[in-house]
A and B are shown apart, each in its own frame.
Chain A
Amino acid sequence: AQSVTQPDIHITVSEGASLELRCNYSYGATPYLFWYVQSPGQGLQLLLKYFSGDTLVQGIKGFEAEFKRSQSSFNLRKPSVHWSDAAEYFCAVGAWQAGTALIFGKGTTLSVSS
């Protein structure tokens, strides 16, 4: 079955500390992988995506993610967290075939402490 698992429901990080949000996927086809962020009351904004090539991808707001095929993982990282990063983060997987829908994980809520 196709699925995305985000093992951490809620994470609290001190401002300025590093962050890693975990994502594991199960997908029968070659996966396209995404991280989205949702601020309270807002829609989902794309942080970064992986289609092919370099397995370390850079995104907006200083985020990066690394695709590890052997571990079926696509973890999101940021070296130094800012208070404005507090939000809910969603990992998603899709297929290469045109127009297929994304499957989302249940999300990880990030709180940033001062």
Chain B
Amino acid sequence: DSGVTQTPKHLITATGQRVTLRCSPRSGDLSVYWYQQSLDQGLQFLIQYYNGEERAKGNILERFSAQQFPDLHSELNLSSLELGDSALYFCASSVVSGRANTEAFFGQGTRLTVV
């Protein structure tokens, strides 16, 4: 158990709909990352938050957005869903010790299926 909790584990929804994925980081971790894993693209970095602020953006579509709340949990919002958005979405968290980076701990992922 990595200590990172993602809900729900599975989600099936129709095209055009909007969903919200939730992530609770490990206790004490200030950084939260969202990744999308698909068969053709592999693991793609979407977005990172650090202590409530957006820190970095990767290959995140404009239809997708995220936020990190004061209690450090994060939500990834996916809207106007398309079939191609079907993927495994991972959240990861890491502790930031001073200025140094450390490894990221991953949740079990949310399997999104768009039908």
A interface residues, Cβ below 8 angstroms from B: 32, 34, 36, 42-46, 49, 51, 90, 94-107
Contact = CB atoms under 8 A, between A and B. Distances in A.
A51 B105 CA distance: 16
Given A45-B2, A99-B50, A104 B42 contact: yes
Given A43-B2, A43-B108, A105 B101 contact: no
Interface string B82-115: 0000000010101010111101111111000000
Given A42-B108, A100-B56, A94 B101 contact: yes
User: How would you classify the secondary structure of chain B's contact residues: helix, strand, loop or mixed?
Assistant: strand
A104 B33 CA distance: 13
A82 B2 CA distance: 23
Interface of B: 2, 4, 30-31, 33, 35, 42-43, 45, 48, 50, 55-56, 58, 90, 92, 94, 96, 98-101, 103-109
Contacts of A43: 2, 4, 90, 106-109
Given A43-B106, A44-B106, A45-B2, A98 B42 contact: no
A99 B101 contact: yes
Q: Most chain-A Cβ atoms within 10 A of its Cβ — which of B35, B48, B98, B106?
A: B106
B108 to A, nearest CB: 4
B99 A106 contact: no
Contacts of A95: 101
Given A45-B2, A101-B58, A102-B104, A107 B98 contact: no
Contacts of A98: 50, 96, 98-101
Q: Most chain-B Cβ atoms within 10 A of its Cβ — which of A90, A101, A107?
A: A101
A13 B94 CA distance: 33
Contact of A46 (B33, B103, B108): B103
Nearest to B42: A106
Nearest to B9: A41
Contacts of B106: 36, 43-45
A104 B106 CA distance: 13
